[in-house]
Structure 1
Amino acid sequence: MTSLTASSGPDAFQPAAARWEPRRALALSVARKRTAFVRGMRLFFTASALAIAGLLVVQLVLGSSGSVTGETEAVSADIRMTNPRFTGRDESLTPYVVTADTAIRRRDAADGVTELERPRLDYDFLEAGADVSRVLAESGRYDLPNRILDLYSDVNFRTRAGYTFQSNHARIFLREERVTGEEAVEGTGPMGTIRADSYEITDGGNRIIFSGNVRARLIQDRTAPVPDASPEEGND
């Protein structure tokens, strides 16, 4: 009897190479998909690395311009922070620290602008050797991006030149070591007392300009020796 082979049908008459063509095409398709997947993963990891590097750069920039710490609490749409602490440096790289009892960031406020309750300032420009826990005013507002501290109501501060000022407003430009005030001010210093409608302190406290209804009272230094009124007689 004649034996039959296992192969039957049209494939039995096809060459072996022809029967392997579909498998080869399938393997090539899988390889292409795998290559595309690997390329996509490489692009994903590269983009992730760039994003992380960008975040680090942003954090470094924000850190150089100032930072803020404290315990935050969301109240309706506003954010309330207890015992806030803002740090930064002026143009001379002198460090300063702004603290307060409470800070409130309003929903409709500009970016980085925070309201302060009983603000304090640790800064050599104004508080050289003084008690840094002393409250400067009853309320204030801190503009972190521009580093401007506005003080309102019962403002009291002292410059390193020895002058003490009382007013209802002071705007402290922390970058420039400059203070301006648009409210009446009374000042006391080594040379006496002065009163004016507005004022400006520049050059690190070495220059003070008063404007509007200026009234000054100079105090003579009584410890200085009084010169002899009579001419000194010379000897021939």
Structure 2
Amino acid sequence: MAGGIEEAAEFSVSRHRRVTEFAPRNSEMALTTLTKRRRYVHFMKFVLPLLALGTVAVLVAWPQLAKRHVALPLTFSEVDTAEAALVMNNPRYRGTDAKDQPYVVTADRAIQDPQDKQQVTMDNVQADLTMNNGAWWSLTADTGLYHGGTKLLNLFGNINVYGDNGYQMHGTSAEVNLNTDELASDEKVWGQSDLGMIRANGLRIRDKGRVIIFINGVNTTILPGKKRG
């Protein structure tokens, strides 16, 4: 019986020690956890309003940013890609004038104008014009600008004009109306025929060569023994 009382006493003492040893530790941990939670709550009270404010600012500013993005001008490369020109190798353009006389315009290369589909810029141009009586004229130039709607052919560079009658003329710029069979130049021109040579500061050719007029400072050289037909 005494032994049982001693064991109960020891158990009571041991339990008292456990409570005494662990109680402070549990209190300290609880206090630490509570402190952390308070700090977290304070932190979120500060951060959440900032996040909300930032979201509202983005929503308000987004339409303005979108407008600015749309209004930005395209760069040259983007415009060039969007308005890509059609390039044609060895093009051939056929047509007839007001008198139903045929002509053919050819080139090594033609680049179509993206803004005007009927206009092309050509390299190494040749235009052949034929009249109903069989007579012909042939024109060549380094570059040319042809418009299918107006039938105007502007020639630039080394221009050469040859006729079946032996006439030949040269210049640096000229405009050819393929509908009316007229050629006009206000630059220096020079040419020759069986009669001799001629220089001037302008030229008009009408009716596919039936009428040739040199203007502005005309200078002629008649070859000896040659007579007008």
Band the TM-score falls in, shorter-chain normalisation: 0.5 to 0.7
The offset of 1:111, in angstroms, is: 4.3
**Among the aligned pairs, what percent are the same residue?**
29
Which residue is equivalent to 1:144? 148
* Structure 1 segments of 4+ aligned residues over 2 angstroms from their partners: 127-130, 159-162, 220-224
Matches within 5 A, 1:45-84: 77-84=84-91
The offset of 1:147, in angstroms, is: 0.9
Which residue is equivalent to 2:190? 186
Q: Which of the two has greater helix per residue?
A: 2
3-state SS of paired residue (1:145): coil
Which 5+ residue runs of structure 1 have no aligned equivalent? Answer: 1-73, 225-236
The AA in structure 1 aligned to 2:88 is M
Matches within 5 A, 1:194-205: 194-205=198-209
Across the aligned residues of Structure 1 and Structure 2, the Cα RMSD in angstroms comes to 2.6
Q: TM-score, normalised by structure 1?
A: 0.56
The offset of 1:75, in angstroms, is: 9.6
Cα 1:170/1:144, change in 2 over 3 Å = same
Question: Is contact 1:77–1:106 with CA below 8 Å preserved after alignment?
Answer: no
The offset of 1:198, in angstroms, is: 0.8
Matches within 5 A, 1:172-183: 172-183=176-187
Which residue is equivalent to 2:127? 121
Cα 1:223/1:90, change in 2 over 3 Å = closer
The offset of 1:203, in angstroms, is: 2.7
Question: Is contact 1:102–1:117 with CA below 8 Å preserved after alignment?
Answer: yes
Question: Is contact 1:188–1:194 with CA below 8 Å preserved after alignment?
Answer: yes
Larger Rg computed on CA atoms: 2
Q: TM-score, normalised by structure 2?
A: 0.57
Q: What is the number of residues matched between the two proteins?
A: 146
Which 5+ residue runs of structure 2 have no aligned equivalent? Answer: 1-80
Is 2:105 aligned against 1:98? yes
